[in-house]
A and B are shown apart, each in its own frame.
Chain A
Amino acid sequence: MPWLLAVAVCTFFALFSSDSQAEYSKQEKSYWAFQPISNPQVPETKERGWAHNEIDAFILSSLEANQLTPTQEADRSTLIRRATLDLHGLPPTPEAIARFVNDTSPDAYEKLIDRLLESPRYGERYARHWLDLVRYADSDGFKADVLRPNAWRYRDYVIDSLNHDKPYSRFVKEQIAGDELYPNNDDAKVATGYLRLWPYENNQPDMGRHWEASLDDITDVSGDVFLGMSMKCARCHDHKFDPISQKDYFRFRAFFSAISPWEEVYLGGDAAEQDYQKQFARWYAMTAPIQEEMDSIKADPWEARRQVGYNKLPPYIQEMMEKENRTPYEEQLARFAEKMMNYFATRDYEKSISNEHVQRWHELKKQLAQFDEFKPTEREAVSAVRDVGRTPPHTLLNTENGEEDIAPGYLSILDPGDAKITALDEQIHSTGRRSTLANWLTDNGNPLSNRVMVNRLWQWHFGSGLVNSSNDFGVLGDKPSHPELLDWLTQKFINENWSLKSMHRLIMTSAAYRQGSIRTEADMAEENDPENRLLWKMPVRRMDAEQLRDAMLHVTGEMDLTMGGRAVEEEASTRRSIYVVNKRNKHSTMMNNFDTPDLHNSCHLRDVTTTPIQALALINGTWTLKRAERFAEHLGNIEVQNKKERISIAFQKALGRAPKEDELKEAQAFLELTKDNPQEEREAWVDLCHVLINTNEFIYIN
């Protein structure tokens, strides 16, 4: 059988895996990321007045050890802009700024963070970070790049989970094994959509090969996302740098190897299903003669179109289709083939209705449509996965001992034995492998998964993680800049029941986070730590594509804050960017120019490129120009005393601050040039607005 073994594509390296029980070197065993999470003491610092919480003690002590001092706290308008763009992905409104700046209570900043965390805008922002990691897309990729009609449910699930501060442990369990652990829970049904995010080609007849590639993809991405370990290298050979053998790769892959895509999964539970069936029965009873006649016309063309798909299948798949008793693996491929055949049948059967029936067919369709008001609304379908049964397929690997069936297991350096598979309830037609993995990933003692997530949180707030390479805690990755802080935070995360919001609050209320980003005093900081790894200031960051688009729509007053549902088009819609369609074969849009991820790889950190193509999009692009026009209109509708005041509002909206005296003069001069011509004056306002949303101050976050 072709392509059965992943090793088939690995032509360069040795084909035989060494024994995963091999001895590990002392160096490998003592590698930091594999050590148990320690319980470090909060360090003492010389300076006592700076710290707001324990984080600061860790940061300050390493600054002191390097003869560095932190930067003084940023001013309030900078803080609120930073925090709002961080948690909401939107700039603050002038009203919100005024409220915070004028709040004299000692905990004004803490209250601000609480307000921001309570808003649903938070989930819409932080979901993007997660969707990047899991390479979420609304389309299949490959040639046709077919839109996935139900993909958005997974996106909404992520937003909703974040807004409800679902414990991260539960969030992971639902995605890896929601169907096994919480079989009747709607959230969990949608969450298994995580296991459906791989690119798919409905026109690929070589199912075996496609399926292998898909399982590899799930394995690779899951290693990146949950373990912060680059498994991919070990697919073809023992990892060259990390203690991950090829066998370890297949042990990890075996957790997923029993799954199959499942479309017949609906939301609403038994009640909704019974209700649907009742309505359906009533509708069917009313229309039975029409439907029966239609069914009889449809039968042949449907079968003919399925046959077209069948004929494309290679003989080894056709053989599987003909079998009565299939192995689990054959069942997986047969399901795959069925999916393809039904896709073509659904799409094309009407074209195959013979001439003698075609007129009657359309008459019947019309007749049936007259009963549409009685037709039950479609059930809310989910793109889910389930295991193909209680018996897993083999996970085959070519080893020195011949072809070996690999049992699921964790990284051998952490646990060399086979994983003890959780026994599932008899009614659940599943292997239990994924719940076993999910439990291990969310175990208090897991040295990788917990640290990895805490490190991501840090990265999302500061722009880089305590471990810079947040998808790679391996030898080729970076060492933690503050290893004790990483462990302290990890313990805290577990103790706070994996609450993300608690961690956001803790990190954002630290003095470290509140530092200014501009160092006015001349000292050694730039020279001693040019990369700012020790965090002697807050780094300046460019908005990412979503922040930029959302910020523009926000300041122009156009933003539509409707939440959830099907994806929208980037240019036509004024909804938040999280709802913009993610097409794998996407085209060059404004957002793509600003480094949106490629939607095939797990993206742990966005690139920040600076290109003339971006400048062209911002200064010449019609979308941006339109925003400037809307911004000017929006300003024009605000009651003001004089032009100066209007300029001031424009600056406050766009930049979060009033213009300085010289800026005000420049802006006035810019507008003055056109004062006797209303048309030109209108244009000048548009241009001023356009300039403001092109400035570095708008695009960058201090």
Chain B
Amino acid sequence: MNFYRDQHNQLVPHMESTVSRRDFLMRAGGGIAGLGLAGVLGLDKAFGKATDPLLVKPGHHRATAKRVIFLFMEGGPSHIDLFDPKPLLNELHGQTLPKSFKEPITAMGEQGSPLLGSPREWKQHGQSGTWVSDWFPHIANHVDDMAVIRSCWADGLNHVGSVCQMNTGSILGGRPSLGAWAVYGLGTLNNDLPSFVVLKDTKKTPLGGVRNWGTGFMPATYQGTLFENGPVPIHNLNPPKHISNARQRKKLDLLNQLNQKHAELNQFDDELEARINSYEMAYRMQAEAPDAVDLSTESEATKALYGMDQKETEGFGRQCLMARRLAERGVRFVQIYSGAGSAWDTHANHEERSTNLCRSVDLPIAGLLTDLKRRGLLEDTLVVWGGEFGRTPMGEKGNGRDHNPYGFTMWMAGGGVHGGQTIGTTDDLGLYATSEQAHVHDLHASILHAVGLDHMQLEFKSGGRLERPTINSGNVVEKLFTG
């Protein structure tokens, strides 16, 4: 933590100094009239230090990633069927959990259920020999770019708390999401688009709703924007159809006239000018946002790369391709939900449901990695894959698996991640993380680290508290970046 001394010579932890925009305008001598369109929401970046909350900031150290694409398999994918093979599980199939394993609290409360073996076929892939099951044949081709963390763990037992924690660090609501922290810490690279975009492949909403990409105690400026499917991704982006362009323009002109007069009277009030500009920015967003999600300019080959030519993979493929387009346009944080509304939650019919879900994301994710790589984007784009937790080795209702926050797998690729490695272990049944445990806070610290932010230096003052993204906890998983 940095400190400075206040007027009473007391040590006070360092925070962003809030030079008011008014203050700046006066010093710059430019006055309100000097602001061009680029001053939307604040000041022209060329003006240097100012209080535009979305101004690009340098971060705390050299970033290895400029942006993040977080692939969220909502409901909890089964690590022991995907990345963490457990031969013992098949040997003990049908038996109860051996006494040497501590009986965990399970979400559904089934006690003493028999272990459920995994019928997957496992292979080592790439030069690194990373284990991937036959559920992810395409992703398996990218293992040399991936760091697989088998020893993740989380605090929550239920979905909503756990999804909340994977997004905000806490199982309780009220904290900013990781994407919001990133935007707060780094600013935006494109003023014409939201800098944190959330995509999803179903009509349902992720459990817990908007607070998963919300800002909690931080201003809404940093919040994620949920893109709706279809040609108009942002709510209210266009006027209703019955209002012609000419009519809209005429209205905006009159509005501008009235606002300019009001601003002249209230000179020095920077907020008024920012609001006038926000209408201009909204106007430009009307052009920029639909363009970002317009896939018609993509070649058939590219679409096929993402699986958009096949029914099963079309949905998630579309989201992945959109993520690439947003990343290209400077969006800092893109999050894509697979199975929004907890589809990966396979308490029953685990085999059949997971087969379909894995199939729906495997080719699209592989396509995204290929596409990012061939465009040179993978090196500064951090791709994160995972869910809010994993699943139990014990069965549930005979053919399902319950929640397992005690040990599960996530992987990261690109953005400075040292690929081709497997980090940490779970026990012989995949129930508890046993070595190099990586708590959600450690994962968040690592993601922030990649984009150049230090999780203990990134601070926001709320009430009387200095809040930090990982709740004053967590360590960077160094191996991710050193191999």
Contact = CB atoms under 8 A, between A and B. Distances in A.
B208 interface: yes
A242 interface: yes
Interface stretch (B219-227, B321-329, B347-355): B219-227
Contacts of A518: 265-266
B266 A702 contact: yes
Contacts, number: 221
B343 interface: no
Q: Which 5 A-B pairs have the closest CB atoms?
A: A472-B464, A600-B174, A230-B464, A143-B160, A585-B209
A256 B98 CA distance: 42
B20 interface: yes
A620 B465 contact: no
A601 B174 CA distance: 6
Interface string B216-245: 110111000110000000111111100000
B340 to A, nearest CB: 14
Interface in A600-615: 600-602, 604, 607-615
A395 to B, nearest CB: 20
Contacts of B257: 666
B466 A476 contact: yes
Contact of B160 (A142, A311, A673, A691): A142
A207 to B, nearest CB: 11
B195 to A, nearest CB: 12
B473 interface: yes
A611 B172 contact: no
Contacts of B22: 526, 530
A616 B208 CA distance: 25
A141 B238 CA distance: 32
Nearest to B20: A530
B41 interface: yes
B91 interface: no
With a 10 A CB-CB cut-off, give which of B236, B240, B250, B279 has the most chain A CB atoms.
B236
A688 B247 CA distance: 11
B464 A476 contact: yes
A666 B23 contact: no
A609 B41 CA distance: 9
A471 B463 CA distance: 6
B301 interface: no
A213 interface: yes
Contacts of A185: none
Given A469-B464, A616-B234, A687-B250, A205 B105 contact: yes
Contact of A474 (B40, B225, B464): B464
Given A469-B464, A531-B20, A609-B221, A620 B41 contact: no
A526 B161 contact: no
Contacts of A608: 271
B236 A142 contact: no
A601 B168 CA distance: 14
A586 interface: yes
B365 to A, nearest CB: 27
A88 interface: no
A308 to B, nearest CB: 9
A213 B172 contact: yes
Contacts of B285: 612, 616
Interface residues of B, number: 81
Nearest to A597: B217
Nearest to B26: A526
B240 A625 contact: yes
Given A9-B155, A205-B105, A600 B216 contact: yes
Given A619-B251, A691-B251, 10 more contacts: A11-B473, A206-B105, A224-B463, A476-B461, A530-B22, A540-B269, A595-B219, A607-B219, A615-B275, A673-B250
Contacts of A105: none
A204 B221 CA distance: 32
Interface residues of A, number: 91
Contact of B258 (A312, A611, A691): A691
Given A203-B158, A474-B464, A616-B282, A145 B41 contact: no
11 contacts: A142-B158, A143-B160, A469-B463, A588-B210, A598-B173, A610-B41, A611-B220, A619-B251, A663-B258, A670-B250, A700-B272
A36 interface: no
Q: Which of B208, B278, B473 has the most chain A CB atoms inside 10 A of its CB?
A: B278
A619 B248 CA distance: 9
B26 A527 contact: yes
A11 B473 CA distance: 7
Interface in B33-65: 40-41, 53
Nearest to B159: A143
A625 B109 CA distance: 51
Interface in B401-438: none
B448 to A, nearest CB: 16
Given A205-B105, A666-B254, A690-B251, A229 B464 contact: yes
B258 A143 contact: no
B278 A614 contact: yes
Given A12-B472, A230-B464, A595-B220, A584 B262 contact: no
B444 interface: no
- Among B174, B261, B466, the one with the most A-chain Cβ atoms within 10 Å of its Cβ is B174
A242 B464 contact: yes
A108 B5 CA distance: 49
Contacts of B240: 620, 622, 625
A694 B40 CA distance: 17
Nearest to B278: A615
A530 B158 contact: no
Interface string B1-17: 00000000010110000
A240 to B, nearest CB: 8
Contacts of A683: 247
B281 interface: yes
Contacts of B107: 205, 312
A13 B105 CA distance: 26
Contacts of B304: none
B92 interface: no
Contact of A699 (B250, B266, B275): B275
